[in-house]
Chain A
Amino acid sequence: MEYIAGVDIGNSSTEVALVRNNDGYEFVATSLFRTTGLKGTVKNVPGVVNALERAAETAGISVDEIDRILLNEAAPVIGDVAMETITETVITESTMIGHDPSTPGGAGLGTGTVVEITTDRDTLTDEPSVIVVVPATVDFADAAGTINEWVEQGIDIQGAIVQKDDAVLINNRIDREIPIVDEVGKIEEIPRGQPAAVEVATGGSGQTIDQLSNPYGLATLFELSSEETQKIIPVSRALVGNKSAVVIKTPAGDVEERTIPAGSLTVIGEGGNSVSIDIDQGADEIMAHVEEHWPIADIRGERGSNIGGMLSRAREQMGEVTGQELSEINIRDIMAVDTLVPQKVEGSVASEHSMETAVGLAAMVKTSELPMQQIADEVEDRLETAVTIQGIEANMAILGSLTTPGTDVPFAILDMGGGSTDAAYINETNEITSTHLAGAGDMVTMLIASELGVDRELAEGLKKYPVAKVETLFSIRHEDGTVTFLDEAVDSETFGRVVLLKDDGSLEPVGLDESVETVRRTRRQAKEKVFVTNAKRALRRISPTESTRYHSFVVMVGRSALDFEIPEMISDALAEYGIVCGRGNIRSTTGPRNAVATGLCLSYVGDRTEFDVTVPDGLAKSVGTTEIVGDSRS
């Protein structure tokens, strides 16, 4: 009896396929453990040993009984991501603010001079109309009393700005209906004596303000010139969709949207041509230049920018892995994506945000130096088992993927991981071409994190799981509008919130103000921008005609192929090109997982100890059901 283990060290997980030879080969176990350390370093060994032990346990043997371990020849690929914000809205001297509390009071639109409620009434006789400011120190009942008194004495109060959450309480106690905006935190920063406008949408739910969110509405209220109207566009844009808002004008104040110098990238093609691109030109421009200069020799970022820092970080990491000089390590691909980032408005009064434009960038560095032998030696020492470096990752992935029912050469695989999107194509004569592209799961996480303004951990959850809204104590509404009733009431912390629907059926509340629709749209857009774009890019690279359309069959494998919506998005997008694209099902059992580990075992079967670029005809045909029987124990 002979046991052979194929081990695939990936960026995030280490996978094992275990084969038993007992007068015929048979897969007996599959296992998975997180990759320890950076892929391609000796630190991977504990993860490899652990994954092997798990596989042995499943097969009911001791890890000592494994006769041979096969490792993939993995060129380390490091992917890293960074974000560069390229616009910034600056409000100097806190001129104009927008605000959207949950319970404003009253309705309508009011304009007037800003006046503190504690002011002596006699000083107000000259004001044609006023907007009162109610600080937290004034009780709502007293404020309402004062408003009634003043109105009775002939002062035209048109609206109120309140610090505490008291708008409805005040509104219920005054005789005149005025718009009241509350929960204005930094009320002391509102300039007194200046003209202001307060608007609260009329009617029930679903109504939004229409004057302050319209630049010409603002121009009408504040008698702005066309030049001034242009400047307040960021303000009116930030107020679109609000139920209430306040805008205050100060003579010295100014709002501007300015472009931050974001640095530049230099793309050097293998032909020696190079081009410098300003990052603030946007993602399309950057990608156009990357495509034009493909294949890329190196990409350099300007010092001092986030992108420049990210590129040198990737270089340094690779230097540590391989022991190469930094000057010898080259960035081989970048992917740029346009995105929006909520940023605190400089000079705001109630922590308003504006959506600023930004460019997200993923970089990929690859090296030809292979530190695999070190790992092989270390594993051999630890387990006292013969270790063979069996073959190139892409070839192994192709071979493993061929065990998916319904596949045959020629076909392509898309291996979608965390750090990079890899692809390989095998033609009729069993020649394999492969590529590594920057941009994969980690970039999606970054885009979700920045667009929704959440931390990475939460963004990771929002990427992996669908969301739902807890509507009642006993029911949740899903993204598609369907409702599920629960047997037990939800916790009070979960009630009314957006929750993640975990695989085990549990609900995890998300500390996020966004609606289910916004979360879903953001998540799907991020996935589409990264994976659909990269699927097309990768397929173009590996086709002999440099055309995506060239391919007929594509099998998706890797971690991100397990995602609940990425495979269908890609299938959908590629269907336009007439490509049959679906998720792999390695050995009819493991889904899109385990392709490389399986490929390693297959390549060894029949005493093949070497595996070059071509897949021997007999082997390609032998996989599937005849010689290798499906994994009966997974």
Chain B
Amino acid sequence: MSDTRTQSAADEAVPRIHIRYVGEEPSTLEYIEHGIEEEGVPWRTHAVEEDEDSPDEPSRELAFRAASESGLKIGIGIDRDARHTLHHARLPPEEPVQRARVETDSQARAVGANAARLAKRMPLEPIEEDSENRERE
């Protein structure tokens, strides 16, 4: 973890959506941020080093940790396989709000919009996956 104690304390006080990803910055990040911004909700992004113990579903773990740290209790986790998970801190860790392999810009934007809509208590959009992706999962 690169951030300091004081920073996380301050972050928890400010209601923001947290985005957490592992390794290099994912290409989808920019579009996720656009999705959140268009809905008018604040957010912060956080890069983490690869976890040594490498959990089975890193994006879910990342999302839950992000949600737990978020003042809005909403987190997005992105792993190296482009799996994106939207999570809420009050949900059981193994039951995220939405989970999908995201490849297109519009899917990524929908992930961001949904995180913001969760904060605004508005209906979520379905995140359409290509049939090809679904088969691979």
Q: A473-B90, A473-B91, A497-B123 are in contact. Are A492 and B97 (CB under 8 A)?
A: yes
CB of A120 within 8 Å of the partner chain: no
Residues in A whose Cβ lies below 8 Å from that of B40: 103, 168
Q: In the bound complex, do residue B38 and residue A169 qualify as a contact, i.e. CB atoms below 8 Å apart?
A: yes
B15-23, B48-56, B75-83, B114-122 - the one binding chain A: B114-122
Q: In the bound complex, do residue B123 and residue A496 qualify as a contact, i.e. CB atoms below 8 Å apart?
A: yes
CB of A440 within 8 Å of the partner chain: no
CB of B124 within 8 Å of the partner chain: yes
Q: In the bound complex, do residue B38 and residue A166 qualify as a contact, i.e. CB atoms below 8 Å apart?
A: yes
Residues in B whose Cβ lies below 8 Å from that of A471: 121
CB of B37 within 8 Å of the partner chain: yes
Q: In the bound complex, do residue B122 and residue A102 qualify as a contact, i.e. CB atoms below 8 Å apart?
A: yes
Q: In the bound complex, do residue B124 and residue A493 qualify as a contact, i.e. CB atoms below 8 Å apart?
A: yes
**Which residue of the partner chain, among A489, A493, A495, A496, contacts B90 with CB atoms under 8 Å?**
A489
Residues in B whose Cβ lies below 8 Å from that of A140: 34
Q: Which residue on A lies nearest to B34, using beta carbons?
A: A169
**Which residue of the partner chain, among A102, A165, A474, A492, contacts B98 with CB atoms under 8 Å?**
A492
Q: A492-B98, A496-B123, A497-B123 are in contact. Are A172 and B37 (CB under 8 A)?
A: yes
**Residues of chain B in range 23-41 having any CB-CB distance to chain A below 8 Å:** 34, 37-40
**Residues of chain A in range 92-124 having any CB-CB distance to chain B below 8 Å:** 102-103
CB of A62 within 8 Å of the partner chain: no
Write out, one digit per residue, whether chain A residues 489-501 have a CB within 8 A of any chain B CB (1) or not (0).
1001101110000
Q: Which residue on A lies nearest to B88, using beta carbons?
A: A473
CA distance A168 to B39 in the complex (A): 7
Q: Which residue on A lies nearest to B91, using beta carbons?
A: A489
Residues in B whose Cβ lies below 8 Å from that of A168: 37-40
Q: In the bound complex, do residue A165 and residue B38 qualify as a contact, i.e. CB atoms below 8 Å apart?
A: yes
Q: Give the residue among B34, B38, B40, B114 with the most A Cβ atoms within 10 A.
A: B38
Write out, one digit per residue, whether chain B residues 75-105 have a CB within 8 A of any chain A CB (1) or not (0).
0000000000010101100010110000000
Q: In the bound complex, do residue A495 and residue B123 qualify as a contact, i.e. CB atoms below 8 Å apart?
A: yes
Q: Which residue on A lies nearest to B118, using beta carbons?
A: A495
CA distance A30 to B54 in the complex (A): 62
CB of A472 within 8 Å of the partner chain: yes
Within the complex, the shortest CB–CB distance from B12 to chain A, in Å, comes to 19
Within the complex, the shortest CB–CB distance from B87 to chain A, in Å, comes to 11
Q: In the bound complex, do residue A473 and residue B97 qualify as a contact, i.e. CB atoms below 8 Å apart?
A: yes
CB of A167 within 8 Å of the partner chain: yes
**Residues of chain A in range 228-281 having any CB-CB distance to chain B below 8 Å:** none
Within the complex, the shortest CB–CB distance from A150 to chain B, in Å, comes to 23
Within the complex, the shortest CB–CB distance from B58 to chain A, in Å, comes to 20
Interface size, chain B (Cβ < 8 Å): 20
Residues in A whose Cβ lies below 8 Å from that of B86: 492
Q: In the bound complex, do residue B126 and residue A493 qualify as a contact, i.e. CB atoms below 8 Å apart?
A: yes
Q: A489-B90, A489-B91, A489-B95 are in contact. Are A495 and B124 (CB under 8 A)?
A: yes
Write out, one digit per residue, whether chain A residues 466-496 have a CB within 8 A of any chain B CB (1) or not (0).
0000011110000000000000010011011
In terms of DSSP, what is the predominant structure of the interface of chain B?
Answer: loop
Within the complex, the shortest CB–CB distance from A453 to chain B, in Å, comes to 17
CA distance A541 to B34 in the complex (A): 65
**Which residue of the partner chain, among B38, B98, B121, contacts A167 with CB atoms under 8 Å?**
B38
Write out, one digit per residue, whether chain A residues 363-395 have a CB within 8 A of any chain B CB (1) or not (0).
000000000000000000000000000000000
Residues in A whose Cβ lies below 8 Å from that of B126: 493
Residues in B whose Cβ lies below 8 Å from that of A473: 88, 90-91, 97, 118
Residues in B whose Cβ lies below 8 Å from that of A169: 34, 37-38
Within the complex, the shortest CB–CB distance from A454 to chain B, in Å, comes to 16
Q: In the bound complex, do residue A103 and residue B39 qualify as a contact, i.e. CB atoms below 8 Å apart?
A: yes
**Residues of chain A in range 390-414 having any CB-CB distance to chain B below 8 Å:** none
CA distance A167 to B97 in the complex (A): 27
Residues in A whose Cβ lies below 8 Å from that of B117: 496
Within the complex, the shortest CB–CB distance from B16 to chain A, in Å, comes to 16
CA distance A166 to B86 in the complex (A): 22
Q: Which residue on B lies nearest to A496, using beta carbons?
A: B123
Within the complex, the shortest CB–CB distance from B34 to chain A, in Å, comes to 6
Q: Give the residue among B37, B86, B114, B123 with the most A Cβ atoms within 10 A.
A: B123
CA distance A497 to B39 in the complex (A): 17
Residues in A whose Cβ lies below 8 Å from that of B121: 471-472, 495-496
Q: Which residue on A lies nearest to B113, using beta carbons?
A: A165
CA distance A588 to B114 in the complex (A): 52
Within the complex, the shortest CB–CB distance from A423 to chain B, in Å, comes to 44
**Residues of chain A in range 150-173 having any CB-CB distance to chain B below 8 Å:** 165-169, 172
CA distance A166 to B34 in the complex (A): 9
Residues in A whose Cβ lies below 8 Å from that of B39: 103, 168
Residues in B whose Cβ lies below 8 Å from that of A496: 117-118, 121-124
Q: Which residue on B lies nearest to A165, using beta carbons?
A: B38
CA distance A576 to B69 in the complex (A): 60
Q: Which residue on B lies nearest to A497, using beta carbons?
A: B123
**Residues of chain A in range 483-532 having any CB-CB distance to chain B below 8 Å:** 489, 492-493, 495-497
CA distance A103 to B95 in the complex (A): 29
CA distance A471 to B120 in the complex (A): 9
Q: Give the residue among A102, A166, A167 with the most B Cβ atoms within 10 A.
A: A102
Q: In the bound complex, do residue A103 and residue B38 qualify as a contact, i.e. CB atoms below 8 Å apart?
A: yes
Residues in B whose Cβ lies below 8 Å from that of A474: 90
Q: Which residue on A lies nearest to B38, using beta carbons?
A: A168
Within the complex, the shortest CB–CB distance from A174 to chain B, in Å, comes to 14
Within the complex, the shortest CB–CB distance from A354 to chain B, in Å, comes to 25
Within the complex, the shortest CB–CB distance from B104 to chain A, in Å, comes to 15
CA distance A103 to B90 in the complex (A): 27
Within the complex, the shortest CB–CB distance from A626 to chain B, in Å, comes to 59
CA distance A425 to B51 in the complex (A): 80
Beyond contacts A473-B118, A496-B118: 8 other A-B pairs, Cβ-Cβ < 8 A, are A103-B39, A167-B38, A168-B39, A489-B90, A489-B95, A495-B97, A495-B124, A497-B123
A-B CB contact pairs (8 Å), 30 listed? A102-B122, A103-B38, A103-B39, A103-B40, A140-B34, A165-B38, A166-B38, A167-B38, A168-B39, A169-B34, A169-B37, A172-B37, A471-B121, A473-B88, A473-B90, A473-B91, A473-B97, A473-B118, A474-B90, A489-B90, A489-B91, A489-B95, A492-B86, A492-B124, A493-B124, A493-B126, A495-B97, A495-B123, A496-B122, A496-B123
| A residues neighboring B (CB under 8 Å) | 102-103, 140, 165-169, 172, 471-474, 489, 492-493, 495-497
| B residues neighboring A (CB under 8 Å) | 34, 37-40, 86, 88, 90-91, 95, 97-98, 114, 117-118, 121-124, 126
9 closest cross-chain pairs (CB), A and B: A496-B123, A496-B122, A168-B38, A497-B123, A492-B97, A492-B98, A169-B38, A489-B91, A492-B124
